[in-house]
Amino acid sequence: MDESVKYPGRLTRRSAFGLVAALLALPRHVAAAEPSEILVHKDPNCSCCTGWVRHLQSAGFAVTVRESTVLHLVRRRLGVPDDLAACHTAEASGYVPEGHVPAVAVRRLLETRPEAIGLAVPGMPVGSPGMERERAPAERYEVVLFGAKGRQTFMRFVGGEAVG
């Protein structure tokens, strides 16, 4: 007699092997809960860049920092338009986050994988990750998706909070 008939709801050897085989057949990215890796290129003297790195780390990203005084060359190599340039440039799973992009936007980019070069927050909006100021109100800003197909608003924020 089959064990599952004697003990309803009990996992049999046959069903356990089937379950293990099904789990092993899943694509690796489905089971992955590892932090995403981000390489940040920043000026060695920039404190707001350091704040953005801490923001990414606290959001679960594994961050490597490469200090450079020739960030314009890094941006050119990675395809960041001059008018979207900010104070630091990153590389994350084939994308380029430029400037003070909130971690939630980077995470969404990596999950949705749109056809683009990356995301940018031009300038240095007050209240964006790394640009927090105690006595200054947070600014409203857009995270721009950019690439060969042009540009579009990816997300909107006030400070570090996403808004409609």
pLDDT in tens, 89-143: 999 999 999 999 999 999 999 999 999 999 999 989 999 999 998 888 999 999 9
Find the mean pLDDT for residues 5-18. 50
Q: Are 120 and 87 in contact (CB under 8 A)?
A: no
**Looking at domain 35-163, which CATH architecture does it have?**
3-Layer(aba) Sandwich (3.40)
Q: What is the pTM of this model?
A: 0.78
Contact 159, 141 (CB under 8 A): no
CA quadruple 71, 73, 77, 81: dihedral sign: positive
Q: How far, in Å, CA of 159 to CA of 156, rounded?
A: 10
Q: Domain extents for the chain?
A: 1-33, 35-163
What's the pLDDT band for 152 if we cut at 50, 70, 90? very high
Of 107, 129, 130, 108, the residue nearest 37 (C-alpha): 107
